[in-house]
Chain A
Amino acid sequence: DTGVSQDPRHKITKRGQNVTFRCDPISEHNRLYWYRQTLGQGPEFLTYFQNEAQLEKSRLLSDRFSAERPKGSFSTLEIQRTEQGDSAMYLCASSLILAGQSYEQYFGPGTRLTVT
């Protein structure tokens, strides 16, 4: 399967711990996006990359959230000092931007975070 993959699929952590999630996009895609989704709500955009450049990060929820895409391939999302309110599904998506035209996003299965 060559779709977007995320690891881990589930994460349970205690409040105050740091967590890191990984996303592997579709290989030829140059854009990668991170979202958070809580129950009953649509995905909430967090940040995105084009290749290794982080083009938008003002929507990250707080300075406890950070993301990297060091070589323009996989990406990591880190949450420091987790809080119970961080419990949610974290989704990653990728897309291809080619000759100025943007194509649809392909979403991964998500990482479900539970903070106890």
Chain B
Amino acid sequence: LAKTTQPISMDSYEGQEVNITCSHNNIATNDYITWYQQFPSQGPRFIIQGYKTKVTNEVASLFIPADRKSSTLSLPRVSLSDTAVYYCLVGDPDNYGQNFVFGPGTRLSVLP
């Protein structure tokens, strides 16, 4: 199984940029990197997915170095509503279940 390592928790202040890094040293060639956000008592919500280099959407950016052994989720100008748990997943979408594992995630607390 592709194993990921993330910080357990992070604190930030409103308006700041937050970067959460995920390590995935044994990432395989066909693996993609996906990030989800989860609020209490809700199912996770997709944030962003990438394979290499940089991906940007309306809510976040994902930076993936050339060796793909890590990735960084960047949240620009966070607000209190961004307080949530963020999960990094690594795996091959065509062989789901064999290697997609949610870790404990990073609990982000945004302070006023």
Stretch at the interface among A61-69, A76-84, A98-106: A98-106
Tell me the interface secondary structure of chain B in the complex: loop
Name the residue in A43, A56, A93, A102 with the highest tally of chain B Cβ atoms < 10 Å from its Cβ.
A43
In A77-116, which residues have CB < 8 Å from any B CB?
Answer: 91, 93, 97, 100, 102, 104-110
Assuming the contacts A33-B96, A56-B97, A59-B97, asked whether A42 and B46 have C-beta atoms less than 8 A apart, the reply is no
Q: A7 contacts the other chain (Cβ, under 8 Å)?
A: no
* Inter-chain contact A41/B42, CB cutoff 8 Å: no
- Chain B residues with Cβ below 8 Å from A73 are none
Q: Give A residues with C-beta under 8 Å from B.
A: 4, 31, 33, 35, 40-45, 47-48, 55-56, 58-59, 91, 93, 97, 100, 102, 104-110
